[in-house]
Amino acid sequence: MDAEFRRVHDTFKANLTAGELDYFRGSGLEHVQIALQRIQKEQEGKRQLLYLNRIDPYLKTMIEYGKVVEVFLNVSEILAFVWGPLKFLLMITSNFSDAFNSLLDTYQEIGEQIPLLESFKTLFQDSVNTHMRQLLVLIYEDILRFQLLALRYFRKKSERWRPF
């Protein structure tokens, strides 16, 4: 793994609990999609449907980002720490509509701000183009930074939300 990606990855992992590390390790897009389907079914049962498609721009962007990063780094491990926290945050907030809506809105905004990268894949593969590679690191760092802040916030909130 590239040294800069490793630094960002290790910094994020150092701020996770052992349980979170286990939960996130091995996570993929399919786990997020299953969680979204489960949430949608629960909402249908409560007649409380929220517009879940708001997360689509983020999912599409991260899918393309993942394709570029996997080619660049030849490793998919780092994407587990994009998908795992997303799934966790969706699941923990799904019963609290204000928090869930805010989270969906934020992921939608992030997805709309990050450019679709697959069309630039050859630029990232060019070993001379270090600026483009640095862009991939910065995107990863920003995604993980947001998710860490959200995890910290909802860790505190979840302690108060737990039933007695």
Expressed as residue numbers, the domain containing 103 is 3-158
The token pair that represents 108 in the structure block: 């939608």
What pLDDT, on a 0 to 100 scale, did the predictor assign at position 133? 80
Residue 163 is assigned to a structural domain of this protein:
no
What amino acid is encoded at 100 in this protein? F
Mean pLDDT by 10 residues, the chain (164 residues): 87 94 93 92 72 88 88 78 95 88 93 79 66 86 96 75 45
Domain total in the chain: 1
Global pTM reads: 0.85
Around Cβ 128, how many Cβ atoms within 10 Å? Answer: 8
Residue 113 is assigned to a structural domain of this protein:
yes
Residue 100 is assigned to a structural domain of this protein:
yes
At residue 87's C-alpha, the angle toward residues 117 and 63, to 5°, is 15
The token pair that represents 82 in the structure block: 């994009």
List C-alpha distances in Å: 95 to 61, 92, 139.
26, 7, 29
What pLDDT, on a 0 to 100 scale, did the predictor assign at position 159? 59
Alpha carbon distance 11, 60 (integer Å): 26
Residue 32 is assigned to a structural domain of this protein:
yes
What pLDDT, on a 0 to 100 scale, did the predictor assign at position 31? 95
Residue 164 is assigned to a structural domain of this protein:
no
The token pair that represents 76 in the structure block: 């998919």
Residue 37 is assigned to a structural domain of this protein:
yes
